[in-house]
Structure formats: C-alpha cells, structure tokens
Amino acid sequence: MVSAARRGVIGIVCFAVLLSGCSMAAPNPVSSSSPPAVGAAPSGTVTMATLGWKNGPADRIVLPVGARIDERVDQANVITAIGGPAMADAVLTTLTDTLPSYGWTITASGGGSLVFSDAQYDGAFTSDSSLWALTIRVKA
C-alpha cells in the first residue's frame, strides 16, 4: 500500500509529466490507425506487462532491460513508472524508438520529455537529474 505522502508525490509527478508536453515543440507526428498486434518485445527491452503491470496498455509500452522501477501505479485508468536518473536517457531512447511500432503517435518531444497518444490513451515521459517518470492514462 502506498502512503498518502507518496501518493501525493506520485500525483504531482504524474501531473507535471502530463503538463510538461504543453510547452514542447511538436515534431512531425507518426500515426497509426490502430494498434498493431502485440508480439515479442524488441531485443534489449521488456514490456510493462512483463514487469507486472496488469492495467492499461502495459503490453504496448516497452522499457530497456534493467530499468530500475522505484515506484509504480497500476490502476484501471492510469499506469505509472518512476525510476532513478541513471536510466532516464535509455528509457527515453527506448520509448522514442518503439512507441510508433506499437501504434502510438508521438506528439511532442524535447528537454528530456515526450508526449504520446493513441485513440484510447494519453502518455507522457519526463526526466530530470533526480528521476524519470512515465505515465499513461485513459483519455478523458
């Protein structure tokens, strides 16, 4: 069970992650009309589902093998992973390289952050010198 203080920190981080995309320049989006069939994760990566997430599109989000997860949220409406700064660049690179092939459209990137979506979910990744955070939520 997550303490109230940790829930507050996780909530603030998730909110900041989603807002971080508001000020980023949008790249040329890569779009897909529907998510592809889920197959094996690319070499050197693992799906969030394999790491134990049960909700959301956990089978369509991959992280680098060895990415340390310090905090997690696994709810029907949102999934979140938070880790230490050592793997932030590797997580960002993995997401940038793999999201389009799993049916996501990258809508903004820059400054160690990434915003992406598909027809059902919105997602965001951000990092700084103290942590990285990834959250995917059901569209409102």
pLDDT in tens, 26-64: 333 333 334 444 567 888 999 999 999 999 999 999 999
SS3 of 78, please? Answer: strand
Q: Yes or no: say if 96 and 109 are a contact pair by the CB < 8 Å rule.
A: yes
Q: Which residue has the tokens 């920190």?
A: 9
Residues 118-134, mean pLDDT to the nearest whole number:
97
Quote the pLDDT of residue 39.
60
pLDDT tens by residue, 82-113: 999 999 999 999 999 999 999 999 999 999 99
Give counts: helices (H), strands (E), the chain.
2, 8
Q: Does pLDDT of 17 surpass 50?
A: no
SS3 of 64, please? Answer: strand
Look at residues 41, 77, 72, 33 and name the one whose alpha carbon lies nearest to residue 57.
Answer: 77
CA pair distance 129, 42, nearest whole angstrom: 27
The pTM (predicted TM-score) of the whole model is 0.74
Q: Where are the domains of the chain?
A: 4-138
